[in-house]
């Protein structure tokens, strides 16, 4: 296990209806792990920097290659795929529950968590098909995990696929999954300083959903500061302020999804 972030996908597994159906193939030698800053360290000392960079490039290149296969597979079936990323507790699953209940057409979900099938069960109760991917020690989904989940899920043509990534504002930004769009969910309870603290996440995003705005009267959160800082990193970034609990401004969210 990586001592920095716990990244390690050797024990990742895809779960359908509570049953594990496979483990992840090894992406790296047993003594190497990917860190969120795109560095790869081995347990051999001293570290050979040249070897480290070569291994890093190989890992990311393999992921990007698999992601392009995912993207082509989804596009062939006209499935709009959205990668939802956030820190834990920002409200991704609640947002999906409301979206599923109020969106016509086929909606399916790949749920990413280190352990449990809690979120997949919530998604199924809301009326959508879901596959749970448990990453074990890993702190993000990768393209291979998504590929195996797609094999199980088989989203319907012309439908919408949401990929709820593991709660983490670092690693998920660095791994292409084959999605059409990346969405970052940030809640007002987390503070308005997140873009400058986690620049890679906001630089990679197509849309930022500022969630839990029903709590704005009770927290110290400056929407204008968040927007200003995020657009310094990503000038073309779109932003929507919503409440998954009340449904405020969800019509604009649905319009954004329908235009993908």
Which residue, chain included where needed, has tokens 């570290």? 47
Find all residues with CB under 8 Å of 251, minimum gap 6, and list them: none
d(CA 59, CA 50): 14
Among the ranges given (18-32, 112-126, 155-169), the one the predictor scored with the smallest mean pLDDT: 18-32
The pLDDT assigned to 101 comes to 96
The pLDDT assigned to 13 comes to 72
Residue 123 · residue 8 · CB < 8 Å: no
The pLDDT assigned to 24 comes to 41
State the helix-helix crossing angle for 250-258 and 92-102, rounded to 10 degrees.
80
- pLDDT of 32 higher than 50: no
d(CA 25, CA 2): 18
The pLDDT assigned to 28 comes to 31
Residue 179 · residue 81 · CB < 8 Å: yes
Task: State the chain's mean pLDDT as an integer.
Answer: 86
Phi-psi domain of 56 (left: phi exceeds 0; alpha: psi -120 through 50; beta: other): alpha
d(CA 83, CA 204): 11
d(CA 185, CA 100): 17
User: Across residues 211-232, what is the average pLDDT?
Assistant: 98
pLDDT band at 124 (very low <50, low <70, confident <90, very high): very high
State pTM to two decimals: 0.83
Which of 1.10.1270.20, 3.40.50.150, 3.40.50.720, 3.40.50.300 would CATH assign to domain 13-26+78-258? Answer: 3.40.50.300
d(CA 163, CA 109): 6
User: Across residues 106-135, what is the average pLDDT?
Assistant: 97
């Amino acid at each position: 296990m990586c001592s920095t972030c716990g990244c390690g996908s050797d024990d990742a597994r895809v779960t359908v209806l509570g049953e594990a159906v496979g483990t992840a193939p090894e992406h790296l030698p047993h003594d190497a792990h990917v860190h969120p800053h795109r560095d790869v360290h081995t347990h051999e000392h001293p570290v050979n920097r040249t070897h480290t960079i070569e291994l890093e490039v190989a890992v990311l290149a393999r992921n990007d290659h698999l992601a392009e296969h995912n993207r082509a597979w989804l596009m062939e079936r006209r499935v709009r795929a959205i990668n939802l990323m956030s820190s834990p507790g920002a409200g991704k699953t609640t947002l999906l529950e409301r979206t599923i209940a109020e969106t016509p057409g086929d909606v399916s979900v790949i749920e990413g968590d280190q352990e449990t099938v809690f979120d997949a069960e919530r998604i199924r109760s809301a009326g959508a098909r879901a596959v749970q991917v448990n990453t074990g020690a890993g702190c993000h989904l990768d393209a291979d995990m998504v590929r195996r989940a797609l094999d199980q899920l088989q989203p319907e043509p012309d439908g919408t696929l949401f990929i709820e990534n593991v709660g983490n504002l670092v690693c998920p930004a660095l791994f292409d999954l084959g999605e059409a769009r990346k969405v970052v969910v940030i809640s007002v309870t987390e503070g308005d300083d997140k873009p400058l603290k986690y620049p890679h996440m906001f630089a990679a995003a197509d849309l930022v959903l500022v969630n839990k705005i029903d709590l704005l009267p009770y927290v110290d959160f400056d929407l204008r500061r968040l927007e200003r800082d995020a657009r310094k990193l990503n000038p073309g970034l779109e932003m929507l302020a919503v409440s998954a609990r009340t449904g405020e401004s969800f019509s604009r969210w649905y319009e954004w999804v329908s235009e993908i």
